[in-house]
Structure 1
Amino acid sequence: MRAILTVENFASNLVLTMWTPLFVGIFIAIITYALWPRNKATFDVAAQMPLRED
Structure 2
Amino acid sequence: MDTYSFLRHFADSWMLILMTALFVGVVLYAFRPGSRKVQEEAATSIFRNEKRPAPDVAGSASRKIKEA
Report sequence identity in percent.
18
* Unmatched 5+ stretches in structure 1: 1-5
Q: What TM-score does the superposition give when structure 1 sets the normalisation length?
A: 0.76
CA RMSD of aligned residues (A): 1.3
Runs of 4+ in 1 over 2 A off after TM superposition: none
Q: What TM-score does the superposition give when structure 2 sets the normalisation length?
A: 0.63
For 1:11 and 1:19, the matched residues in 2 are separated by 10
Q: Which has the higher contact order (CA 8 A, sep 6+)?
A: 1
Bigger radius of gyration among the two: 2
Q: Is the aligned partner of 1:11 residue 2:7? A: yes
Q: Work out the number of aligned pairs and report it.
A: 49
Deviations 1:14-49 (A, max 9, x none): 222111110010000000011111111111111110
Instruction: Look up the match of 2:46.
Output: 50
- Which amino acid in 2 is paired with 1:17? S
